[in-house]
Structure 1
């Protein structure tokens, strides 16, 4: 025994001598409080101070007199831990028995503190204590109540004691009062009617209640069927949504039914906020206001900021994943999509999502809204000006009135993520495992870091992360600054003092940090590289798992995979640069793959939701994943046909029972996650359980027997767990109970073994995503891998092999490896933890939970949103414009309400200089839109800023009055069908076609109606549309003076088809267009005019004007006049050339794109019946002031026709974004 102890001591001493330890801290989370305890990282093993841990947990302990042991006491048990001895004696005071517990590593003494590995401490304390410690990450431990296995008791039958129906403006509320708490119920729609199943509820007799004369509700049928009672709620509307929740006494069930987000808007106000919401969001309103006030209060202290007006919060529920968006122009406005966030890979670590979202968005408000004295003065005159393409001088006013907005996106997001992390008590990307994985992989792959310019204009366009990569680098850079220089200087960099005069980002940086910005960015790269090399070295101290890559090709982002054992293939979806998102079948025998279906509108992280029924050879998947409501489809591999099962069902996280063929999923509705299932043959979806707002459900997986459901649970306190529920108990009508399998390391992606005896998942327990296995029989959890970059979405493909997807900076790659326990999992260091170690005051930034402070916030009574009274003047600026050869001095005003129900633009001016004639001309352009559908416009001698610079003038002599209406017949991304109709009266008109064509009649009326059909898609890294169809159909009617009327009409149609051809981003566009004119007399203003590129020297139109119907480069503009025509065009746009870091004097070159084209025209023109041309166009796209874009274009073309030929070239500069 002495020899063993000597050897053990020798090994420990050798380790300490051979490898230096890294001093660090571990955050212990107890409720809403954070405590930092001392820790050391020895070769990837985190040792924590047991004294500090026990003291913060209020567990009694005593260090022995000779400092060679520590005694720890619990209520019924105690243990003694001896220095340099891995064996612990546990004494039970009741039974007087003793147990021996072996630690993973031996403890040691340092400065009167006993240090023990964090895993050993957690296991030992959890073994005895009545609470449990959960290791969220190597640097974070959370204290939770211990979960005991829940017994499912027999539920007594309940009676309905009262049924009340309350009618609201656009909703109806049913209140069911029971004799006791209702434990289990679910609902589903069949046709338009809502069915509510109440388990273990009886009624004395069946009944029918009619509601005559009510808008939404027709009748309610109540019927007792065996163990349950069914309520059939007959509804009059085709599309409704419903939500159910219990009252505080738990005996009342409330069902609220309303039209699907078509209802009225309402408002409430707090001290600093005004929230605008629909009635179906009302249950969230007070919580949102309290969360916003909670965050803003602390931001005002940090930045010495006070808002001048109330900040608008506008809630929406038109997407299946939640998000936030912010602008400070023309007013401070936050949009919140209330649904659960898109989860996965811990890309976004968060706790209570609304507090987290609002904290992030409010940082943008505060940082961008701060102003110096001059800027504040200009705001009081002009407002915060939004750039307007038709008035380019608005850009100058915008720069002067909201200067901070024109900074790089990475800079904007960096401070928002920094503060979001600490406001949420460490739940944020600064302490996130995904960010660590990305930078560790970047260094491990020996890839270069981008410069800040390259990041914005190159990396963010070609990376699978798109603009999300700006969050990664921005966060990491400010983390570097906080670590090196402290938090106070970081806040100073982002703050703006009243006496500061429009400081640039770099100038302010040099003032605060006394160093050059570019030099510090390079220092950041060096420090980050060294930090990650240390982590990689730590991970390599233990044997790495031997994996075999099945492809050297990265698949970008991926869906949940499914293994088809019949032909040994893998079914999954992916989205990567240069490829349209798709679901593919990957052959494990040949490592080749083929597309099954294309996936329009993929989401950024999960792409889509997928399930596969191997028995029936059917695949289920979702579309509309990144916007609007998800549809659920089924693809039959036998017939090669797909079928829409449920439209707008909003369900994802799909899985299917191999035994019963039931389809399960998670529905997002009214901000909640709802567990649903649909039984074969999938005609209706049953809502089984609605989770509380803030608690979320994802990653469903059913074992092959069909009796166990595994899920990932995310709670509002930030904890994430793998849980298992017994489906048999659910079928009996018992409440759904999830048994927690693991909460360590943000576990996710549960997947069952082929025999159903094991459950696999990935988790960041040691800071790296590794694969774990749970034995259902023994409840033992075994780590299976030790990797450097990270493995995700495990799936068993044989008894001894697993397949998973390895993370790379370019996306995920499938790998296989043997199923065996890994020897050791070294823990990495988190960069964010270094900041916390040096600046522990950041823990004080942790916000109190909203539920605690909600009642202290004063909230006004609910009011209906009045769009008219909410209208205010947003912009008031003097302008200079052109009108033919005149200079026009004028004013530009914009009035609107926050929801743009009423939007009025007035552009008025006078041309006083008499350059061409002696008369003074007055000018007016007025446009009013209602709900962005109804439009009223009036123009008189309407100006055009670009007339100041161009020979071809668009300012039109005369007047125009128009009424318009446009709306979407279908808005189902990517398919959008829009109908527009406009009736225009023209008065005293002299010329049309840029004042090139004289009209025959000065007064006339035109009615035009158009159908615009777009079904267009693009890939990651594109600069324009790359695939799909664009169809326009229009009809036009013309009439003149009623006394001597003339009539004519036009029919026009055009179709554009886009293809990806030969290689990534090489786009072939095919166009065919035709038009026919009906007229009895010659009316020049209704004929078709062709010719020219169309680009003026200084322009505001799209740069590729040659693709328009009436453009024909090579011949003079408007020179071919026809009554009927057919036109064909073929154009090839080469992949855009992006030059990393191309920048000069603050002007960045975003890309260079080049197109070649040829067109053919057949018409009844007396001069040119048949014509053909060929040409090319080159575009240089620049970015100024970070958010503004301009394009320099040049083109050349030659045309041939019967009897002649001609050529044309142009150079044009386009202001603002194309």
Structure 2
């Protein structure tokens, strides 16, 4: 019986080999390894390889032709897990480029692009060469470690090794995205954000409203969190600043600043000073002045002709807003919106009174266009997309019943429009990089694919005529050109596919075009003049006419009565609904794009950027397709480097005394990261322990959802900084399974179990201050289930609303006896209306031990803030079940307990332009809490403990990617008479959370 759990653990180890049922595929060349998860994608692999080769070859001409650098063959990971295309790149621990297969989101034409995979590879390979490229010093460090070291918060010294091996990775996001957007633009012949009308509009709006441009530090601390565009500001500001450097100091100097060469400086700020002879802060401020002058000139040029009058429907901008839909009977308009300090929701605006009403929350939003919305006017129903950040679903909201009446998961349908004539829904279905027109009945059942676009074609901005005869879309071509398409719905129903190409613009966009009330025109927006003005196209003559001359930007026009338009007007803080007259404008001036000035000052160099000097080798489709093989995780596992580590371990001379352990970490993994092994070995010869406790081994193997751990004298870095202690004498062997389903935002459904065996222990696994008396070995088993639905509004620094529920069973097998216990928890929070990003939480927990109440194995122990002075866990440890600030750790025993904590989290203070380029604080936040703990022990009186406290927390960022949290706390305990430390206790806490 004693070894029952140990035997069970060992017998389950073969289960690890089962892994997942899904098969993975790969295609290998000397240049890259491409991995994908859907066999249906294999026909597109030759095209993806060619787009990668083209982007790589163009970059090699710029960065790597005259250096010792030999590019690492990256892993190209193709996914189809989201319905909006995306890309990502990382150099650690191996170079990786991730490409989402779906078409890019073209809302408000934020991201001008050519053929999307070509654009993505050019953009993402910029990140690879900027961070992976080494000089001799970087290469020597990589050889010493055997890898580019990735950070591991369990061994924070890894951050130092990582910086030495990949120094340019530790630069701000604007630095990375600025050069990537610049290169994607000019490698594509001038199609990209460096010449983007949206970027121009954003900065024009700031100058027009007399608002501030963020400082180089303030962009990271305030601009990327407080602003409604959050992280996208890194793209906006970074691209702008690179344009300024190129315009003012020349293309060659800009390349010199970014390039990693033998004589370049390690830190990006010092490299800037070396190249430009001035500090980055000064030149950034120079750019802000130049930007102001540039935009004032543009505004003056626009205003040489009368500005189109608009009537705002709301006092303030609404943040991110979807195009409105309108019901002429009720005269109400509807849209999805997401403003800072609030959660995304459907909003209703009465155009007669201007009254705005919140209808219901929307989960899983997009950044610029929170959701796609359609209106069933006869049924008084709103249909909108959900889970937009992943695989989209659909919901029906009944306006009269004021509730959601139907939900459909994983429909993968966007750009929806409702045909009120035929009572059906049209949309674009996304799967495997392709799009199809799909039709559904009024109940969103029986989806029918009625037309499939060729692979690689991007289609968006759909509408349907009022008589239900025509569907319209905008299609984007390989060179960024836009075409307005019309489909006859009657022909589609008969499988007759003859799309009408209404008009094509090669040098500008055609966005959000919708039918006029008489169905004779399509009315939309375009940056044709560099400003997003409204336009109309006559369906019969195909003549384009300009309808506005706006100084900032207008979008998503909708004719609501003959001659009157409802549109969205861009403001610094988001989009604002306005009314305006539908009138033809004859005269307007174009603006000068900032990127155009950079080009004109460097024509000769920049015209050569996108030209291949040597043609790419011929590639046969069959040679690629026939060499696609299965991806075997075990065969692909390789040595992934090793580096020195330092840890802490218990010293036998004093219970709370720690001794340092010097050791080494060895890593093995597969390139995708499905399986990884970490082996840490250490030695503490100077400790006072027995010789057998001076040797330390920790082994950790993660394989899909499985984790196998084995340790002898388990060591922990953070034990060096107490007061909590995780290191344990003796051995442990543990097998665990942890599964989490997060496919639907914001829900998380997780469960798992573990079994473990311990030997030669000096303390219980969960309670460091509770010694094991007379039992040197034990086995444990646990099982848990958790459910959560939590959200954070724009500008928040923690979860602000929702719930977290959990139940866990835990048991010891020790001394031939079994000690089971159970614990349940429930946390409930809400965003308070008193101030932005202010939340209140009620956190509850209850538990019971079924084992012998006289044994330490049948008891739960509480006490302390439970933060280490230096830590890697969540900074708010007082929220955990076992915490009770104001007394020592494990000082309060209970056989049965119930606990509740009320917590008020105040609005965080955002810091702007405070700190240095390599280190700066981002926010300061205050939390107030009060806890009540009720404990029962058989043959003893019921006892009540109370704790009140405060915690101040600030986030510190080192080297731009190493986020650290400093917390200061105070807790006061009110205990019953006879408590070991007296009726009152005080505890001060200081904790620095690393990485």
Q: TM-score, normalised by structure 1?
A: 0.76
> Paired residue for 1:1048?
819
Is 1:991 matched with 2:763? yes
Counterpart of 2:255 (choices 491, 499, 502) is 491
Is 1:793 matched with 2:556? yes
Select the structure of larger CA radius of gyration. Answer: 1
> Paired residue for 1:1170?
944
Is 1:868 matched with 2:630? no
Alpha-carbon distance between aligned partners in 1 of 2:541 and 2:673, rounded to the nearest angstrom: 61
User: Which moves more between the two structures, 1207-1216 or 894-903?
Assistant: 1207-1216
> What is the CA-CA distance between 1:1190 and the residue it aligns to?
1.5
> What is the CA-CA distance between 1:350 and the residue it aligns to?
0.4
User: Which moves more between the two structures, 1098-1107 or 911-920?
Assistant: 911-920
> Paired residue for 2:42?
282
Alpha-carbon distance between aligned partners in 2 of 1:772 and 1:499, rounded to the nearest angstrom: 53
Alpha-carbon distance between aligned partners in 1 of 2:678 and 2:697, rounded to the nearest angstrom: 10
Q: Tell me if the contact between 1:1037 and 1:1047 (Cα under 8 Å) persists in the aligned partners.
A: yes
Is 1:1037 matched with 2:796? no
Alpha-carbon distance between aligned partners in 2 of 1:267 and 1:972, rounded to the nearest angstrom: 28
Q: Tell me if the contact between 1:910 and 1:920 (Cα under 8 Å) persists in the aligned partners.
A: no
Is 1:294 matched with 2:72? no
Is 1:701 matched with 2:463? yes
Q: Tell me if the contact between 2:642 and 2:667 (Cα under 8 Å) persists in the aligned partners.
A: yes
> Paired residue for 2:222?
458
Alpha-carbon distance between aligned partners in 2 of 1:717 and 1:851, rounded to the nearest angstrom: 20
Unaligned 5+ segments in structure 2 are 1-19, 651-657
Alpha-carbon distance between aligned partners in 2 of 1:262 and 1:625, rounded to the nearest angstrom: 27
Alpha-carbon distance between aligned partners in 1 of 2:577 and 2:551, rounded to the nearest angstrom: 15
SS for the counterpart of 1:461 is: coil
> What is the CA-CA distance between 1:1115 and the residue it aligns to?
2.6
In the TM superposition, 1:539-618 aligns within 5 A as 539-618=302-381
| 1:659-700 residue CA offsets vs partner (Å, 9 max, x unmatched) | 101100001111011111113443211111111222111111
Structure 1 pair 852/606, CA: closer, same or farther in 2 (3 Å)?
farther
User: Which moves more between the two structures, 381-390 or 989-998?
Assistant: 989-998
Counterpart of 1:1059 (choices 795, 810, 830) is 830
Is 1:640 matched with 2:418? no
> Paired residue for 1:311?
74
Structure 1 pair 707/820, CA: closer, same or farther in 2 (3 Å)?
same
> Paired residue for 2:175?
411
> What is the CA-CA distance between 1:414 and the residue it aligns to?
1.1
Alpha-carbon distance between aligned partners in 1 of 2:521 and 2:812, rounded to the nearest angstrom: 74
Structure 1 pair 1198/1167, CA: closer, same or farther in 2 (3 Å)?
farther
| 1:208-238 residue CA offsets vs partner (Å, 9 max, x unmatched) | xxxxxxxxxxxxxxxxxxxxxxxxxxxxxxx
> Paired residue for 1:77?
none
Q: Tell me if the contact between 2:481 and 2:504 (Cα under 8 Å) persists in the aligned partners.
A: no
> Paired residue for 2:646?
880
Is 1:1079 matched with 2:851? yes
Counterpart of 2:412 (choices 650, 657, 660) is 650
Q: Count how many residue pairs are aligned between Structure 1 and Structure 2.
A: 951
> Paired residue for 1:1210?
988
> Paired residue for 2:904?
1132
> Paired residue for 1:354?
117
> What is the CA-CA distance between 1:729 and the residue it aligns to?
2.1
Q: Tell me if the contact between 2:217 and 2:913 (Cα under 8 Å) persists in the aligned partners.
A: yes
Alpha-carbon distance between aligned partners in 2 of 1:604 and 1:695, rounded to the nearest angstrom: 23
Structure 1 pair 329/1009, CA: closer, same or farther in 2 (3 Å)?
same
Alpha-carbon distance between aligned partners in 1 of 2:906 and 2:565, rounded to the nearest angstrom: 42
> Paired residue for 2:189?
425
Q: Tell me if the contact between 1:414 and 1:475 (Cα under 8 Å) persists in the aligned partners.
A: yes
> What is the CA-CA distance between 1:1167 and the residue it aligns to?
7.4
Is 1:1114 matched with 2:886? yes
Structure 1 pair 968/1213, CA: closer, same or farther in 2 (3 Å)?
closer
Alpha-carbon distance between aligned partners in 2 of 1:969 and 1:527, rounded to the nearest angstrom: 49
Structure 1 pair 875/853, CA: closer, same or farther in 2 (3 Å)?
closer
Q: Tell me if the contact between 2:58 and 2:610 (Cα under 8 Å) persists in the aligned partners.
A: no
Structure 1 pair 1053/685, CA: closer, same or farther in 2 (3 Å)?
same
Alpha-carbon distance between aligned partners in 1 of 2:313 and 2:859, rounded to the nearest angstrom: 62
> Paired residue for 2:439?
677
> What is the CA-CA distance between 1:861 and the residue it aligns to?
1.7
| 1:547-599 residue CA offsets vs partner (Å, 9 max, x unmatched) | 11111211111112111112211110001111100111111122222222211
> Paired residue for 2:789?
1015
> What is the CA-CA distance between 1:986 and the residue it aligns to?
1.3
Q: TM-score, normalised by structure 2?
A: 0.93
Counterpart of 1:755 (choices 518, 540, 544) is 518
| 1:1069-1126 residue CA offsets vs partner (Å, 9 max, x unmatched) | 1111110111146331342111111112222221111111111112322111001111
Q: Using CA pairs under 8 Å that are at least 6 residues apart, name the structure with larger relative contact order, 1 or 2.
A: 2
| 1:750-780 residue CA offsets vs partner (Å, 9 max, x unmatched) | 2222333332111111111111123345544
Structure 1 pair 863/779, CA: closer, same or farther in 2 (3 Å)?
closer
> What is the CA-CA distance between 1:1168 and the residue it aligns to?
6.8
| 1:258-308 residue CA offsets vs partner (Å, 9 max, x unmatched) | xxx974111112331111113121122111111111111121221126445
In the TM superposition, 1:221-260 aligns within 5 A as none
Q: Tell me if the contact between 1:936 and 1:964 (Cα under 8 Å) persists in the aligned partners.
A: yes
> Paired residue for 1:1103?
875
> What is the CA-CA distance between 1:952 and the residue it aligns to?
4.4
Alpha-carbon distance between aligned partners in 1 of 2:935 and 2:259, rounded to the nearest angstrom: 64
Q: Tell me if the contact between 2:971 and 2:988 (Cα under 8 Å) persists in the aligned partners.
A: no
Alpha-carbon distance between aligned partners in 2 of 1:971 and 1:535, rounded to the nearest angstrom: 45
Alpha-carbon distance between aligned partners in 2 of 1:818 and 1:843, rounded to the nearest angstrom: 43
User: Which moves more between the two structures, 313-322 or 840-849?
Assistant: 840-849
Counterpart of 2:798 (choices 1011, 1024, 1028) is 1024
Q: Tell me if the contact between 1:460 and 1:468 (Cα under 8 Å) persists in the aligned partners.
A: yes
> Paired residue for 1:1184?
958
Structure 1 pair 1192/435, CA: closer, same or farther in 2 (3 Å)?
same
Structure 1 pair 1110/854, CA: closer, same or farther in 2 (3 Å)?
farther
> Paired residue for 2:30?
271
> Paired residue for 1:387?
151
> What is the CA-CA distance between 1:386 and the residue it aligns to?
0.9
> What is the CA-CA distance between 1:507 and the residue it aligns to?
1.8
In the TM superposition, 1:717-736 aligns within 5 A as 717-736=479-498
Counterpart of 2:140 (choices 368, 377, 383) is 377
Q: Tell me if the contact between 2:416 and 2:426 (Cα under 8 Å) persists in the aligned partners.
A: yes
> Paired residue for 1:135?
none
Alpha-carbon distance between aligned partners in 1 of 2:880 and 2:676, rounded to the nearest angstrom: 29
What's the RMSD between the two structures over aligned residues? 2.1
> Paired residue for 2:718?
946
Counterpart of 2:500 (choices 733, 738, 746) is 738
Q: Tell me if the contact between 1:361 and 1:416 (Cα under 8 Å) persists in the aligned partners.
A: yes
Structure 1 pair 792/989, CA: closer, same or farther in 2 (3 Å)?
same
> What is the CA-CA distance between 1:1139 and the residue it aligns to?
1.6
Q: Tell me if the contact between 1:424 and 1:847 (Cα under 8 Å) persists in the aligned partners.
A: no
> What is the CA-CA distance between 1:918 and the residue it aligns to?
6.4
Alpha-carbon distance between aligned partners in 2 of 1:787 and 1:742, rounded to the nearest angstrom: 23
> Paired residue for 1:1196?
970
